[in-house]
Homo-oligomer: A and B are copies of this chain.
C-alpha cells in the first residue's frame, strides 16, 4: 500500500528539522511583534540562533514560502509553520503530579499561547485535592480515564517522582493517551504506538559541567606543557 492521493501532504520532514520548527515559530513571533513584515533567511536565522543555510534547508521541507531576491513574509511564514506543527489547533493536556515542577508547568504561559490547554491537574495525594493551581482544581489521579474521554486528551505530562512515573504512564496509555511528555528522571516502557518525549532538568547541567571540566583540564595541560617546553 504505497499509493498516494493528490491531497496527501506526506513530505517526510526530518526529525532534526521538526525539533527546530518551534524555535523558528518563536523567532517569527518576536519579529512580528517588533513590527517586521518581511525578513531574509539571514535575519530569521540570526533571531533563531542557527545559520541561514540550515534555516533555508529546513523551510524547504515545508514548501516554498519565500520570494527570491526579497525574503519571507513574517506573518505568512509563521502561519504556515504553525499549521504544519499543529499549533493552530487546540490541544487539551493533563498534568499528573502537582509538586514544585507541576505547579511551574501549570502556570507556564508558554503552553496556553501555543495551543495547549490544561484541562486537568491530577495528583495521587489526597491532601492536594481541591487546591486550585493556575485556575484549575487538582483532582484525584483516578479521574484520569474520565477526563481523557470527556475532553479527548491525546497528550499527557508526567511531573511525578521517578518511582510513580511508570504506573502513571501505564494508566495514561490505558486511558487512550498516545503522547507523553515525561519530566520524571526515568525511562518509560510503553507500546510502539505511544510517543514519549523526555525532559531531564539535570542532564543539560551535567553536559555543561563536562565541558567546563574539559576547558579546565585543557588549560592546565597547556600551562604544564608551556612550563616544560618553553619554546
Give residues in A with beta carbon < 8 Å to B: 3, 5, 7-10, 18-19, 21-23, 25-27, 30, 47-49, 84-87, 89, 91, 93, 99-101, 103-105, 107-108, 110-111, 114-116, 154-155, 157, 178-181, 185-187, 195, 197, 199-213, 215, 217-218, 221, 224-225, 228-229
Contacts and interface: CB of A to CB of B under 8 A. Distances in A.
B86 A210 contact: yes
Interface centre among A8, A181, A195, A210, by most chain B C-beta atoms within 10 angstroms, is A210
Given A47-B187, A103-B100, A209 B115 contact: yes
Contacts of A9: 217
Contact of A155 (B7, B18, B208): B208
A207 B198 CA distance: 11
Question: Number of copies of this chain in the oligomer?
Answer: 2
Main secondary structure of the interface of A (DSSP, over half): helix
A202 B155 CA distance: 13
Given A204-B181, A224-B5, A108 B114 contact: no
